Structure 1
Amino acid sequence: MNPIPFTWKGKCVKGEQFNPEKACNNKLIGARYYLQGFENTYGSLNKSGNPEYRSARDFLGHGTHTASTAVGSIVEEASLLGLGLGTARGGAPRARLAIYKACWGKDYVGQCTEADVLAAFDDALHDGVHVISASIGASPPLPELFESSNSIGSFHAMQLGVSVVFAAGNDGPNPGLVTNVEPWSLCVAASSVDRMFSTNVIVQGNFSVTNTKSGSGRVVLCFSRIGPVELEEAQEAALGINASALIFVQPFTTLSGPDFFPTLYLDILQGTKLKHHLALFMRLPRLEIVATKTIIGKSLAPKVAFFSSRGPSSITPNILKPDITAPGVNILAAWPRKTPPTIIPSSAYKTPVSWNIMSGTSMSCPHISGIVALLKSAHPCWSPAIIKSAMMTTAYTKDQITKGYNIVNDESMKVSDPFDVGAGHVDPVKAMDPGLVYDMKTIDYVLYLCNLGYNQQQINALIHPSCNDDTTTLTCSQVIKSKANINYPSITVSNLHSRVTISRTVRNVGLSKFAMYFSSVVEPHGVEVVVWPRVLVFSWFREEITYYVTLVPTKKSRGMYDFGEIVWSDGVHRVRSPLVVCVNTITSLDDGIAHTHNDYQLSGFITS
């Protein structure tokens, strides 16, 4: 790679088994670590319950996996023990990487403290990164935005023109558990790819079923139900009776990596078929387990992962979260060379590997981060809001096998909605040329915070004081109350009880300065939608145009969400905004009634 840019202010900090002179180069240009908050909270790192390096070096594997997904260089013949064999590359393989290790293993679970994370954000911004990829987040109940290190750090980044990408969380599929919901960052859900790892199970040589993942002795067949039976419990039980393998039947995609006990996974249909066939035998039959194969292009994809956290946002209900979805199931990426695929003590597999397969929104987050780096490289003047807009308005909502059906949820096979996928699945090629974009500045977010009811002291806790922007003279008393009027690429109204009009401003960034866009609307059930003007005409003298959306409830409802869309098209570009509306026209005795839904860790920081 070319020499490190002179604008780079970062450094590699020496630590346990990490020598900057050997580890850092023109690719890895920064490495810092933050322990004070962790040790103040949990005690000494050496007593944390699992091995760790007291340095920026990764042992648990989470950081290595996510960083390589975002910016890993091209490597041929990558695989985990032969699975997923092919050429690996990160989303932006020519981008540089700086690591800020702020999370540590505590009893084999990653733990992050607010102090360490915020210190990492501050150093990353001082060093001069362009994109921050953070596969971290708190589970609900969420803190207020002005109390969250993720919200504060990402607000500072936005002020400096740095895009921040967060994971949506792994608390799905119940509604309302999405994390990292601030409007100035990107929140990423997880979906599947069209690759599966298939293993045949043959019974007595004439009956077989096929799993979608990967001896002699007893084999345990276990059926999982949502909640009561966890995979780890079943594996521990099988290990405890000296079984050779476990066949685990589940109706959905679990949040799992490599198994510490030989395990095959069947869906509920295949598992039931196997159970009924086994019942035909007076004695337990012989099972033959055929070597796992990698199969591409045969499974419906993308599907929303069962574990991916869903909206609506619990603290910012008028902002759609998650924003977008990306691959996060069975992702093959790099792994620390001295770490086995699973570090659980009871694991029988102790041999280190160079690659590993992981699932989670931690894995989908760096997919988006890599795309952000590419967009930033192609359009260096685009703000974080424009980059988010470009990806959201060009995302697709159809599966890529049939091309005709909407993306479905893995656990139910029902059609997904914006609370599952946000604007849809990312399309990096179309995001390069979105046609129209929605932009925002710091003052727009401050106005939004005023509308949330935050006072000046709380807002000042979010704002970076040294940034020269237009927020210092604004007071919340000057703000007109309208929570939906932030210039977001989606429109969400969480409590529609009467007519409301919302404005949005779009900018033409297409190759031609002269463009004419026509609107089309899919109305949410029970909502009349009027867009004015219906035609937008851009020219050299008119790059930005404001349009208005009037929503009128036409049904009686108490807290029911419905979904639609607004699309602007010039015949070449299709600029789509999800429309999410909760009609609440029946007066409730309890103003705090919960809305219902209709059916419904740390990565590296990147610098280009």
Structure 2
Amino acid sequence: MTMAMAPCQHGGKEKCQTGEEFNATSCNRKIIGARWYGRGISAESLKSDYKSPRDLSGHGTHVASTIAGREVQGVSYGGLGMGVAHGGAPRARLGIYKVCWVDEGCPDAAVLAAIDDAIHDRVDVLSLSVGGVGQEYSGTLHAVQRGISVVFAGGNDGPVPQTVTNAVPWVTTVAASTIDRSFPTLISLGNNEKLVGQSLNYNAAMNNSGFQDLVCPGSCEAESLALGNVTGKTVLCYAPAEASWWPPQISLPYAINHTIEAGAKGLIFAQYTANNLDSLTACEGFMPCALVDFEIAHRIFSYWDMADHPVVKVSPAVSVVGNGVLSPRVVSFSSRGPSLLFPGILKPDITAPGVNILAAVRGSYVFYSGTSMACPHVSAVTAMLKSVHPQWSPAMIKSAIVTTASVTDRFGMPIQAEVVSRKLADPFDFGGGHIDPDRAVDPGLVYDVDAREYNKFFNCTLGYLGGCESYYLNLNLPSIAVPDLKDHVMLRRTMTNVGPAESTYHLVVEAPAGIDVSVEPSVINFTQSSSKSATFMVTFTTRQRVQGGYTFGSLTWSDGSTHSVRIPIAVRTVIQDFVADTS
């Protein structure tokens, strides 16, 4: 699904294309245009889907309501996450462009046709929760050159490095992070021990039987369950040795299906943190399911191993919101940089909420997770910035978002990233950091790019131009990536003052490890009579010649009070080019 937003007063030319289960009245003051792209889709897939803009899977509806849904009171998933729901830009209008189909994905031809139509429709923002590793949509350049901001999901192939997608420099590429909400569930053992897991189990009726027999067949493969006599019992799936080759994102759905088919009445699944709680919606109506880490699972296993008649009870989950939840954290599945195709462009650009996002699907509200859910948060902020600053270019809006992002959590500690174990997040996890809409409205300084400059980048990717390395380094992005530093390199950036006319900015350098960084000038003064733009030069010098890995840093321009304008840096030292970083 891809969609675009346009305010009513923009004078857009949106078309309401009718079809199956979607007539002319389906468009209104919120959905002001809708199109669908079925050319080239197989007859079988068209039979399995609506031949219209209507959304069958729910993915596009979820994304659309996250961007622009109006306020709805008392929204929850079976009582979990209860509260007021609305999109990030609730007064925005939507143009819907259906390009994704059951069993066919999102064909490039359909995406490009939709982008062309969106340009013709004069939309303001394109939000595209589509893509895959190594896939790029260069056609979005035409949209950006017409003043349309383009926001992409960065992909769900993390935590593997070099998996980030949609990495062309003119778009905003979004990673996913957690929010300050969790759903703990009490797990009671027959020896009166109380443990806590995570669950989306809200159906108290499933727990009316109280304690149930506990079995631990180890793996939840169908053969193990058949041998374990699990019918009518709660199953502990505890196989830590399998986690290295059978990650929980893949193994959990299989475990749920196998335990349901085997007639089990409950599931406790052991895993490392994988931010996949929404997978438990598959348990709804069948049995209570909970996730635990290996430490909790071992305690349950030890009780099962020693008890004569082991029993367990999985209670309904509760909602916990606020300071008790460590957040934000970059999620495990969020695709990581550096970009496979464009290592000289630092990606992703930003991270935003993308885990257990509650939004509309087919007349109800459901939790979904993914960079597809993070993307519309950034699209909504982009729309709001366009409304506040209608004269800003897409590059200025992207810069405001990236340079004002937070690199610390709600407690002032550095943001962490989920891998297999947690680590401190770096720019290849979250770009500039976690989005901060309030600060983005007033960034002080921005890094602007004339959209015609991107033509050089496009021609470089086709091999039509020489000197592309220098061009990549000096493209005026709100980030710096140097993937092949052999000795030293100099590059430039230009800032535009969008804050007070009279202001002075001082530079704070966080140098990447093993790299000397010098910047001239290190103080910039803006006055009423001076130019609104200022250029500075950055020199990176390696302290040792080594075929190394990436190290990270930042440049922050601060006026000492309101504005702190930070760009992330990633530098890799090399002795020679094209040496595989593997062993």
Equivalent in 493, 514, 524 of residue 504 of structure 1: 493
2:274 equivalent among 246, 253, 256: 253
- Partner amino acid, structure 2, of 1:167: A
Whether the aligned pair in 2 keeps the contact of 1:560 and 1:596 (CA below 8 Å) is: no
Q: Is the 8 A contact 1:197 1:292 kept in 2?
A: yes
- Distance (whole Å) between structure 2 residues aligned to residue 412 and residue 326 of structure 1: 21
- Whole-angstrom distance in 1 between the partners of 2:434 and 2:361: 26
SS at match of 1:278: helix
Deviations 1:121-171 (A, max 9, x none): 1111111110011100022xx25xxxx4x221x211101100111101000
Residue number in structure 2 paired with 1:34: 37
Query: Alignment partner for residue 517 of structure 2, among 506, 524, 529?
Result: 529
Q: Does 1:417 align with 2:434?
A: no
Separation in structure 2 between the aligned mates of residue 232 and residue 568 of structure 1, nearest angstrom: 47
Aligned residue number for residue 212 of structure 2: none
Root-mean-square deviation (CA), in Å? 2.0
Out of 213, 235, 240, the position equivalent to 2:199 is: 213
Shift of 1:453: 5.8
From 380, 385, 389, the equivalent of 2:399 is 389
Of residues 201-210 and 73-82 in structure 1, the stretch that sits farther from structure 2 once superposed is 201-210
Structure 2 residue 503 is matched with structure 1 residue 515? yes
1:451–1:481 CA contact under 8 A, matched in 2:
no
* Cα distance in 2 between the residues matched to 1:186 and 1:220: 44
Q: Tell me the distance in 2 between the aligned counterparts of 1:389 and 1:162.
A: 15
Equivalent residue runs for 1:416-565 within 5 Å: 416-452=425-461, 454-455=463-464, 476=465, 481-510=470-499, 512-540=500-528, 541-565=530-554
Between stretches 193-202 and 211-220, larger displacement belongs to: 211-220
Q: Distance in 2 between matches of 1:325 and 1:478?
A: 32
> Structure 2 length as normaliser, TM-score?
0.88
Structure 1 contact 305–411 (Cα < 8 Å) conserved:
no
Deviates more, 1:254-263 or 1:172-181: 254-263
Aligned to 1:244: 265
Distance 1:128 1:209, change over 3 A: same
Identify if the C-alpha distance between structure 1 residues 330 and 226 changes in structure 2 by more than 3 Å, giving closer, same or farther. farther
Aligned mate of 2:20, from 16, 20, 29 = 16
Give the counterpart of 1:135 among 129, 152, 155: 129
Asked whether the equivalents of residues 452 and 483 of structure 1 are also in contact (C-alpha less than 8 Å), the reply is: no
Does the residue aligned with 1:37 lie in a helix, a strand or coil?
coil
Matching of residue 356 in structure 1 with residue 343 in structure 2: no
Contact 1:33 1:55 (8 Å CA) reproduced? yes
Aligned counterparts of 1:480 and 1:279: Cα–Cα separation in 2: 62
Deviates more, 1:388-397 or 1:251-260: 251-260
How far apart in 2 are the matches of 1:54 and 1:6? 29
**Matched residue of 1:579: which SS?**
strand
Aligned equivalents of 1:61, 1:4: Cα separation in 2: 25
Q: Give the secondary-structure state (helix, strand or coil) at the position aligned to 1:547.
A: strand
Pairwise CA distance, 1:28 = 1.0
For residue 304 of structure 2, what is the aligned residue in structure 1?
A: 278
Work out the CA distance in 2 between the residues paired with 1:363 and 1:411: 22
From the superposition, tell whether residues 421 and 522 of structure 1 become closer, same or farther in structure 2 (CA, over 3 Å): same
Q: How does 1:288-303 map to 2 (within 5 A)?
A: 288-297=313-322, 298-303=324-329
Kept in 1: contact 2:417–2:429 (CA 8 A): no
Check the 8 A contact 1:524/1:563 in 2, yes or no.
Answer: yes
- Normalization by structure 1: what TM-score? 0.85
Name the structure 1 match of 2:225.
none
Decide which of 173, 176, 186 is 1:190's aligned counterpart. 176
Task: Give the counterpart letter for 1:201 in structure 2.
Answer: I
**8 Å CA contact retained: 2:504, 2:525:** yes
- The change in CA–CA distance for 1:503 and 1:451 in structure 2 (over 3 A counts) is farther
C-alpha separation in 1, matches of 2:421 and 2:58: 31
* Matches of 1:334 and 1:416, distance apart in 2: 31
Question: Which among 108, 122, 138 is matched to residue 151 of structure 1?
Answer: 138
2:569 alignment partner in structure 1 = 579
- Higher RCO (CA < 8 A, seq sep 6+): 1
Q: Which residue of 1 aligns with 2:79?
A: 82
Output aligned runs, 1:314-393, within 5 Å. Answer: 314-337=340-363, 354-393=364-403
Instruction: Tell me the equivalent position of 1:344.
Output: none
Contact 2:489 2:541 in 1 (8 A): yes
Contact 2:159 2:333 in 1 (8 A): yes
Q: In 1, distance between residues paired with 2:41 and 2:535? A: 48
Structure 1 residue aligned with 2:228: none
Which shifted more, 64-73 or 210-219? 210-219
1:132–1:162 Cα contact (<8 Å) kept: yes
> 2: CA distance between counterparts of 1:480 and 1:166?
25
Contact 2:405 2:432 in 1 (8 A): yes
For the residues of structure 2 that align with 1:553 and 1:490, how far apart are their CA atoms? Answer: 19
The amino acid of 2:44's aligned partner reads S
CA contact (8 A) 2:526 2:532 kept: yes
Q: 2:331 aligns with which of 294, 305, 310?
A: 305
Quote the offset at 1:276 in angstroms: 2.2
Shift of 1:280: 2.3
**Structure 1 residues 6 and 163: CA distance shift in structure 2, 3 A:** closer
C-alpha contact (below 8 Å) 2:7/2:92 kept by paired residues: no
* Distance in 2 between residues matched to 1:437 and 1:576, nearest whole Å: 10
* 1:231 and 2:217 are equivalent in the alignment: no
For 1:96-117, what per-residue CA distance to the aligned partner results, in whole angstroms no more than 9, with x for missing partners? 11110000111xxx60101111
**What is the CA distance between 1:46 and its match in structure 2?**
4.3
* DSSP-derived class of the 1:5 partner: helix
Judged with a 3 Å threshold, the aligned counterparts in structure 2 of structure 1 residues 155 and 505 are, in CA distance, closer, same or farther, namely same
**Structure 2 runs not aligned, ≥5 long:** 1-5, 201-205, 210-231
Equivalent of 2:108, from 99, 110, 114? 114
Instruction: For 1:40-59, list aligned pairs within 5 A.
Output: 43-46=43-46, 51-59=48-56
Structure 1 unaligned blocks of 5 or more: 338-353, 456-475, 598-608
